[in-house]
Amino acid sequence: MFFEARKPLPLDSPLLGMPNVVALPHIGSATHETRYGMAECAVENLITALTGKVEVNCVNPQVAEIALSAGPENASPSNK
């Protein structure tokens, strides 16, 4: 998950103490391996969404399920 925070994070930030958090500047993702993985994940998510399923990395699957059950004709607020 990407999180925009005040830069730099204060040393007492709770984020820095979490075992499942890696704090890096934006340039921290600028490797070929990471960018390839990001592109691969985006394509997989697109294919999954186009087949009417919830993406594996979906942060709020409950909302995705509601959107999918509404059908494609109701997927965009501009259709109202």
pTM of the model: 0.53
Question: Both tokens of residue 40?
Answer: 């691969």
pLDDT by residue, tens only, the chain of 80 residues: 556 666 778 889 888 899 998 887 777 778 899 899 999 999 998 898 888 888 888 888 888 888 778 776 665 555 44
> What gap in Å lies between CA 56 and CA 10, rounded to an integer?
32
Q: Would you say the C-alpha torsion 40, 46, 50, 51 has a positive or negative sign?
A: positive
State residue 79's pLDDT score.
47
